[in-house]
């Protein structure tokens, strides 16, 4: 196979990221037939269809999904090579970050925001794995250069930079009597209705293990995939929910009764990446994250 055409690779990724040939062509400011022909040429070069062309647009084939990681590695390698001979600064550099929703909210939003204020010419792409367990695989396989993950990790040979600790609090419907203690014992949840997040998430497994360790059995009243629905469901009287401490403070302002738990529910988080050199943008983000989170 001849060396890949970088433009074809970038066109392929544009179709993936914009969800179709038309939107990708508009974003790239190229004619749609030109983009389609380039992707077809790439498919011939690879010997596989990267997309299934269907009546309502395109969907990734299994070969296309497998090619996303290598394609991003190709573009990161080209960017690194250009940067090594370019003294013009960081203009146009991009960062690929994969994280789960609970970490994307905190500390991800504030961390990325402060990074871009310090580096206004950079571009950050934030991906979400299909399940929380897949995050480490996306980093290991090169689909994303950097992950923001709960710790500890499975043994996948990734380098880890610990940044801080997340804490879950309990939020109860307005008017709930939870006693006068500052922290609510998990045993007080026995027999109560609770609002949960999907089983594939880190938070669900973490909470269920903690409840099991205390011999507590709850009734799952609602499983809420949209995380932004959890606090409104609590305020609506559905039941109690485990939420980030930062979200609990917001919920309290809206009338929910919020408390830390006894024992505390805390877990470390940090950045993960494959061993070896990092791109310029990723090195800058790692350094910024260390300073932002006070991790040295």
Residue that is last in its domain, among 71, 86, 101: 86
Distance CA 70, CA 50 (A): 13
131 assigned to some structural domain: no
Is 181 inside a domain boundary? yes
Closest to 89 measured CA to CA, from 277, 281, 278: 281
Is 39 among the domain residues? yes
Q: What is the pLDDT of residue 89?
A: 47
- Among 86, 111, 145, identify where a domain stops: 86
For the residues of 20-70, what is the DSSP string, one character each? SHHHHHHHHTS-HHHHHHHHHHHHHHHTS-SEEEETTEEEE-HHHHHHHHH
What's the CATH number where 28 sits? 1.10.10.10
Cα–Cα distance for residue pair 209/203, rounded to 1 Å: 10
d(Cα 51, Cα 49) in Å, to the nearest integer?
6
Domain limits for position 3? 1-86
Residue 133, SS3?
helix
Interatomic CA distance for residues 11 and 26, integer angstroms: 12
| Number of domains within the chain | 2
Distance, CA of 62 to CA of 106 (rounded, Å): 33
**Does any domain span residue 179?**
yes
Residue labelled with tokens 């403070």: 249
DSSP H or E segment with residue 160: strand 159-172
Q: Is residue 94 part of a domain?
A: no
Same domain for 82 and 169, yes or no, is no
Give me the CATH number covering residue 174: 3.40.190.290
Q: So what's the pLDDT on residue 81?
A: 58
- Per the confidence metrics, is the pTM higher than 0.85? no
What span, in angstroms and rounded, lies between the C-alpha atoms of 233 and 14?
Answer: 37
Residue 2 belongs to a domain: yes
Q: Is residue 143 part of a domain?
A: no
11 assigned to some structural domain: yes
Model confidence over 220-268: pLDDT tens digits?
999 998 888 999 999 999 999 999 999 998 999 999 999 999 999 999 9
pLDDT in tens, 97-153: 999 988 998 999 999 999 999 999 898 989 888 888 889 988 988 888 899 999 988
Question: Which of 45, 61, 86 is a domain's end point?
Answer: 86
């Amino acid at each position: 196979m001849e060396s890949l055409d970088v433009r074809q690779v970038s066109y392929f990724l544009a179709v993936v990221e914009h969800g179709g040939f038309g939107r990708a062509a508009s974003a790239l400011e190229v004619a749609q037939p030109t983009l389609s022909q380039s992707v077809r040429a790439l498919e011939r070069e690879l010997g596989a269809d990267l997309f299934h062309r269907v009546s309502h647009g395109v969907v990734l084939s299994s070969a296309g999904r497998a090619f996303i990681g290598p394609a991003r590695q190709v573009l990161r390698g080209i960017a690194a090579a250009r940067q090594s001979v370019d003294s013009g600064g960081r203009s146009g550099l991009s960062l690929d970050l994969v994280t789960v929703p609970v970490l994307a909210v905190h500390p991800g939003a504030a961390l990325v925001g402060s990074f871009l204020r310090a580096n206004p010419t950079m571009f950050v792409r934030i991906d979400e794995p299909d399940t929380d367990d897949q995050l480490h695989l996306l980093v290991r396989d090169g689909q994303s250069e950097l992950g923001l993950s709960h710790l500890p990790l499975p043994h996948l040979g990734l380098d880890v930079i610990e940044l801080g600790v997340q804490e879950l609090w309990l939020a109860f419907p307005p008017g709930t009597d939870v006693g006068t203690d500052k922290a609510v014992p998990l045993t007080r949840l026995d027999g109560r209705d609770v609002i949960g997040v999907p089983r594939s998430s880190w938070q669900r497994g973490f909470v269920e293990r903690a409840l099991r360790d205390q011999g507590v059995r709850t009734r799952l009243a609602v499983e809420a995939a949209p995380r932004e629905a959890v606090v409104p469901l609590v305020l609506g009287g559905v039941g109690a929910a485990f939420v980030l401490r930062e979200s609990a403070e917001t919920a309290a302002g809206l009338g929910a009764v919020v408390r830390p738990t006894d024992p505390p529910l805390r877990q470390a988080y940090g950045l993960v990446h494959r061993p070896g050199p990092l791109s310029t943008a990723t090195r800058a983000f790692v350094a910024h994250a260390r300073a932002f989170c006070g991790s040295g």
